[in-house]
Each structure stands twice: as C-alpha cells, then as structure tokens.
Amino acid sequence: MTLKIGIDVGGTFTDFVVTRDDAEPAIFKTLSTPSDPSIAVVNGLTDIAASMNPPQTLEAFAPGIDTIVHGTTVTTNATLTGTGAKCGLLTTEGVRDALEMRRGIREEQYNNRYTNVKPLVPRYLRAGIKGRLDRGGRETRPLDLDEVKQAIALFKQEGVQAVSICFMNSFANPVHEQTAAELVRREMPDAYLSVSTDLLPSIRFYERVSTTALNSYVGPKLNHYLDQLVGRLKGIGFKGLLLIMQSNGGVITPQLAREKAALTLLSGPAGGPGAGLFYVRPHGQNKCITTDMGGTSFEASVAVDAPMIKNDGEIARHKIALPMLDIHTIGAGGGSIGWLDEGGLLRMGPQSAGADPGPACYSKGGTLPATTDANVVLGYLDPGFFAGGKMQLDVAAARQAIEEHIAKPMGLSIEEAAAGMYRVACNNMAQGVREVTIKRGFDPREFPFIPAGGAGPIHSCLICQELEIPLQIVPRESSVLCAFGMLMSELKHDFVRTFVARFESIDWPQLTTIIDEMASEGARQLVEERIPEARRRYDVKLDCRYIKQYHEVSFLVPRELIAQRDTTAIARAFHAEHNRLYGYSLEQENTPIEIINVRVQAIGVTDKPAYREEAWADADAAHALKGKRSVYIPETKAFSEIPVYDGHAMRFGNRVDGPAMIEQETTAIFVSASFDCAVDSLGSFVLFQKGREDLCRSGFSPTAAKEPSMVSG
C-alpha cells in the first residue's frame, strides 16, 4: 500500500489530501498556524492518524507515510509583507540602482500618492564593483577583487544575512560572478548566497538582478522553515520522501529548494492547474481553466496538455524571471467587501475582510458587507452547515451589513442588494478569467471550467454564463484542489541559457552542446533524487522573435529537429505559435527570426496516486435529496424553493437538474437554472449547459457519449 499526503498551507486553513491504493482520497482541513506553519502540519497529521480504521497514534502512523508533497506560502508571505532577510548586493559599477528603479515604472499613472516599492536591498548595501564584460562576454576590464573584499567587509559589519551577485553581461560569461562568489563563500560562510548565473543565466539585466535579489531575500526564511518542518517530521518518525511544490508546477527536494528559494514563490497555488487536467480527461478533454476562490483572492489559470508557463512574472511589484505557472490573481474572494463609489456605482473588493474579522456573518467583529454575507442572504450557504457545521453563520448580521452599506443608499431591498453584490463579484471574476485566456490567445468558451476553493462552485454558473462556457467540472476534492494537485506533480528542473543567433546562421554544434550541458545538469539532479533513467525526460524550448521585435515567443522544439538542423520545421512551429498568440505571423513576408534563449526542462516522472474509477450507479439521485431551501435564482431574479442534495451520497451517473443545491462538508455547489448536473466516473460533479449532455462524456451510460464540441452555436 502506498500512502501519500499532499499538504497545502493557506492563510486560514491548512489543507490535506490523503491517497492510498485501497481507498478513496480523504480530505482534511486544520487551522493554519502562521507563526510556525509546521505546527499545523503536525496537527493535521495527528487528525489523519486518528481517523484511520482503527485509529492510530501519530507515532504509529507517520513511519508508514511514503511521500509528503508540501506547498508553502513562507516565501510568498515574506515578500508580500516585506519581512525577508537583510541582504547585500554585488553588482557592476554604474548600475547599482537598477533594482530600485525598476525600469522607471509607476503602475498607477494618475495617482501622485502612489509610491515606489521598498527595494529588496537598501542602496548602501548595493556595491557597484569595477570589472566589465562586453555584450559577447569578453572581459574588457578585470574584476576588482579589492572592491569585492571591501564590500564583503561592509556586509559583515552590517550583519547581512544573504548576499546576491549579479554582473552586467554575465549571462554570456559567468567568470566574474564565480570569482566573487568564491570570495563571499570564504569570507561569509554562513551567509545565504545567490549567484545570478546559477539561478538564471539569461539576458535582461533588471529581470536577472531582481530574481537574484528575491532569492536571497526569501532564502534564509525558507531554510529556517524547512529546518522546523524537517525536524518536526523526523520527530514524529516520518521516514518517507518529502517534496516541495515549486512555482512551475513541479516538485523538488528540500535541498534544492533551500538553494533556489525563489522557485517556491508561487508554491501554494501551483498544484491547482495540473490537478484540473486530471479531472477533464474522462470527458475527452486535454485542456481546462482552473480557478480557485479563496477569502481574499481569486486565481485563474489555463492548461492545454500542461499548465501554461510564463517567464516574466511579478511578485509584490518585483520582477521574477524564473519559469512559473501563469496564474492570474485578482482581489475577489469570500471576504471581498462591497462598497459604493462616489458616483454611486456598486463595487466589490479588492479590499477584503479576510478571515479575521471576516464577513459580518462570521460574528468576529466584521461589520462591512462581504461576498459571503451576500451568499448567506441569497440562500447559497446554509448558515447551519458552513464548514460542515463547524461554524454557525449569523444571517441577521449579514442582512444588517448589506442593508446599511448597500441596500439603503441604493434604494434597493436587502435581497436585491445581495443579488447585486453576487452579480458584480461574479462579473469581476469573469473578467479575471478573460485576461488569462485572451492574453494567451485562447477562447474561454472552448475550455471546461474547474471551480475550486470552498466558495468557487457557488459562483461558477454565473461566471460561466458571462463567459458562455458550457461545461464545468467540480471535483470532489475541489475545496483542497491544490493539495491534491501536488500529489500529481512531477519533479521539474528548469534551465536556461542565452544564445543569440539568427535562424540562417545558427552555430549548430554550439547549440547542441548548450542543450546537452543543461540536460546533463538536469540528469545529475534527477539521479540525486533517485529517478531511474526510464522516468527522465527533457523538454527543449526556444525563445524566438521576429527580428526587431521586443517580446519573445517560447515554444517546444523536438530534439530531433535540432539534431537534423531542420530550421524550416522549427520556423514553422514558431510562425504557428506566434499566429495562435497574436492572430498573425510574418511567414509570408519572410521576416528573419532570431533565437534569444534556449531552455531545457528536466522532468522526473513520479508515482501518481492510484485513482479508481467508480462503477456506474444510476441516474436517479433521489436517495441523496436532503430537503428544500429558498435560494435566489439569477435567471428569474427571484427566490425559489429548490431541492438540496447531499453531495457525499451522490454516485457515478446520478443526475440533478438545475436549479438545485448540492452540499458537501467543505463545498456547496449551486446549479443554476441554466445548467444540469451529473456525477462522472471520478465522482466529479459535471455541470453542463441545459441540453448539452454531449459535453459530459462520462456521466451517462456509456452509449450516450458522442464527439463533444465546446463552442455552442
């Protein structure tokens, strides 16, 4: 029996998914412990042990765990709250302010009170060192070692915990950085060190120095946290494999995470998009939009065969150029506060009541109306069954907050105001989904929609109607989707080298050497992680552009094409990707193409939890009917008594026609009057636009399936 646990530490709850060969996945949630998140990890494992049949002690249970995959927000929070390490920077003389100037952007152009972000390294600890490489990496002035030593002396005197090194044009030649790094290692053996060419040897100075500085900024904190976590797990007798979720959707060993801490800046939500793909497969799909609605934010991302990656991310207005999942976040969640602007228009968020004090209905001191308050008034949430009945919601407080701040000033009834809040919140989320799809050149209507997070499936029908998406899939594990996704993730190591060349004059032997070097570096890491050769894979990507363009397009290139020096086929792939993204290519014009970067992703395929498909039960869901409740129906703009089903009792094939509510302990699903629902072979709730049974391949008796086409009309 293989026992695997996915653990996702969130702001309010720490989520657990337990998978075993012989049982359905089990879900656990425990309150997070922000001062030392590893405490909540142990608390949750204790609960899981106690839930075993027969119940076990933690000490008896822990040694049997094979793998723990862990997502952490330690580095994210340190960056967002400005509580990272005290850092020093060694950089080239004359450009020490690049990190602070951020290429001169002010994100809010009309707002003169909008100030710059605090730099990750204060100016007096940014040392400009003499020494220069030209654009081809040739040394034009030797590195001034005395200046490096003086800077190190200052860093020691100032109690610097972490040092970053980033020199001009080092992507073409790392020698100056390596020399400086040796000195730092010798003089400051206890300091955390980040070298730009170890982390990201690619062109664009600002992106590289910012990424390197971020790595140093969060490195010591992550190390401290991993010490605590590894210590506690060891203490309870855990002997299995611990893996850390990274921002690119893959996992790494704790050792690598310690060195490249910036890889975990998006660790928390990175499990979601991959998990989404798993749930759409029974329906003959290879793509999806995965969304996650939490207390303060709403995250959306797209996957086609694999989750979308971007190389130009940002966190707290700092650039990070390491590959990370393209997850778009907007300020919309259960805690988002409703307010009227000076023109009297209703707005939702981005201010949030968070978990504390939370929405008015939490009775924890919040008096402002939040999305969750509207959901209570509209009947989407059962005040007595919130979080499976662990928390009682105060309907009167929700009504009062909405009446005072929205209904009265707008001259509406409380119910009308709540419906308005619900609608505006859904519209905001729909626009967020548009950005992540349209910007990537995708039509959202062609994608199944996966709503995750406790409150997601309450809003997803209206979001999908707004976007004309006809198919939604709500996994049983939707409230802990990221934790589940972590168990599905592969080991992934990204490498990049800048290699500037025009297609007609590529130095093939050099290109091959660069790719081989990156692949063997990847192989070395996979060997250390005990991945056998048969399970190692290497994906090659080129970042290319039409000559004189400023933005590159990154696309997969089969290694055979490089071996065959087939520029025609590679160019064709580039034109096609450019056309898909931007609606045109310059193939006809014969515009020259140039390569800027070469990338290799080394992948170690991990063992996935076995997931058994359920046996067909029946279309009849009557056995799961709990009762009836008055719920607001957006299509008719009126309340109506609709059936409420117990989601836990529903089985493969059970069908429920909208409007209806389906409740589980950690999620409520609102099936609006425009959708019907059937349970599929994985136990997911499949919501399809009325009359579009064809989209739900698994969910009806097998003969009903026919070729789906996502775009209606």
Partner 1 sequence: MSAKIDPILLSVYARTFKSITDEMSISMEQTTRSPILCEAKDYVTGLYDGDGNMLEQTENLPILAFSLAPVCKYIKEYFGDEIYPGDVIFHNDVFSLGNQNNDVAAFKPVFLDDKLVAWTAVKGHQADIGGNVAGGYNPNAVEVWQEALRIPPVKVVERGKLRKDVWNLIFANVRLDIVQHDMKAEMGACTVGERRLLELLKKYGVDSYESHKQALFDATRKMMEAEISKIPNGNYSGEGYVYFDGRHVGSKFTIRVDIEVQDRHIKFDYSRTDAQTNGFVNGTFTSSASATILTLLQMVNPDIPHNEGMVQPIEIVIPVGTILNAAYPKATTFGNHLCPPNADAIQRALAPVMPDRVTAGWNNLLASLTTGIDPGNNEKYVDIGFMGLKGGSGGMLGTDGYDHIGMIDASGGVLDQDYEMFEQQTPHTLIKHELLPDSAGAGEWRGGLGVETIFEIGSDDTQLVTFGDGDFEPAFGLFGGGEGGLNFIRLNYPDGQTVVPKNKDLITGVPKGTVYHQVASGGGGYGNPKKRDRKLLREEVRNGVISKEAAMRDYGMTEADLK
Query: Contact positions toward partner 1, by CB under 8 A?
Result: 93-98, 100-101, 103-116, 122-124, 132, 134-135, 140, 168-169, 171, 203-207, 341-347, 410, 412, 419-420, 423-424, 427-428, 431, 434-435, 438-439, 468, 500, 546, 548-551, 581-584, 586
Based on CB atoms, which residue is closest to partner 1, 135 or 156? Answer: 135
Give the tokens for residue 538. 């290497």
Give 378's DSSP letter: T
Shortest distance (Å) from residue 607 CB to partner 1: 40
* Cα dihedral across residues 562, 563, 568, 569: positive or negative: negative
**64 vs 62: CA distance, rounded Å:** 5
* Cα dihedral across residues 375, 381, 382, 383: positive or negative: negative
Based on CB atoms, which residue is closest to partner 1, 75 or 170? Answer: 170
Three-state SS for 241-277 is EEEEECCCCCEECHHHHHHCHHHHCCCCHHHHHHHHH
Based on CB atoms, which residue is closest to partner 1, 198 or 657? Answer: 198
Give 302's DSSP letter: E
Phi and psi for 668 in degrees, rounded to 5? -120, 140
Based on CB atoms, which residue is closest to partner 1, 117 or 704? Answer: 117
**645 vs 624: CA distance, rounded Å:** 5
Shortest distance (Å) from residue 573 CB to partner 1: 18
**672 vs 23: CA distance, rounded Å:** 32
Angle between helices 205-235 and 37-51 (to 10 degrees): 50
Shortest distance (Å) from residue 257 CB to partner 1: 28
Shortest distance (Å) from residue 111 CB to partner 1: 4
**168 vs 132: CA distance, rounded Å:** 7
Give the tokens for residue 235. 């203490």
Whether the CB-CB separation of 495 and 681 falls below 8 Å is answered with no
Based on CB atoms, which residue is closest to partner 1, 179 or 579? Answer: 579
Based on CB atoms, which residue is closest to partner 1, 341 or 560? Answer: 341
CB atoms closer than 10 angstroms to residue 237? 14
Phi and psi for 445 in degrees, rounded to 5? -65, -15
Please classify residue 178 by burial: count the beta carbons closer than 10 Å to its beta carbon, then call 0-12 exposed, 13-18 middle and 19+ buried. middle
Shortest distance (Å) from residue 302 CB to partner 1: 15
Based on CB atoms, which residue is closest to partner 1, 22 or 110? Answer: 110
Based on CB atoms, which residue is closest to partner 1, 119 or 271? Answer: 119
Based on CB atoms, which residue is closest to partner 1, 364 or 445? Answer: 445
The alpha helices in 369-488, defined as continuous H runs, are 371-377, 395-402, 408-410, 414-438, 456-467, 481-487
Angle at CA of residue 451, ends 413 and 361, nearest 5°: 40
Give 620's DSSP letter: B
Shortest distance (Å) from residue 553 CB to partner 1: 10
Strand partners, 537: 603
**266 vs 248: CA distance, rounded Å:** 8
Give 89's DSSP letter: E
Based on CB atoms, which residue is closest to partner 1, 363 or 591? Answer: 591
CB atoms closer than 10 angstroms to residue 512? 14
Give the tokens for residue 501. 């060349």
**269 vs 486: CA distance, rounded Å:** 10
**392 vs 382: CA distance, rounded Å:** 9
Shortest distance (Å) from residue 107 CB to partner 1: 7
Shortest distance (Å) from residue 393 CB to partner 1: 24
Give 461's DSSP letter: H
| Beta strands, E only, 528-623 | 536-546, 553-556, 593-604
Based on CB atoms, which residue is closest to partner 1, 259 or 446? Answer: 446
Based on CB atoms, which residue is closest to partner 1, 434 or 629? Answer: 434
Shortest distance (Å) from residue 434 CB to partner 1: 6
**435 vs 641: CA distance, rounded Å:** 36
Shortest distance (Å) from residue 123 CB to partner 1: 4
Shortest distance (Å) from residue 335 CB to partner 1: 19
Residues in the chain: 713
Based on CB atoms, which residue is closest to partner 1, 107 or 182? Answer: 107
**176 vs 132: CA distance, rounded Å:** 9
Based on CB atoms, which residue is closest to partner 1, 32 or 169? Answer: 169
**378 vs 419: CA distance, rounded Å:** 7
Based on CB atoms, which residue is closest to partner 1, 80 or 438? Answer: 438
Shortest distance (Å) from residue 399 CB to partner 1: 18
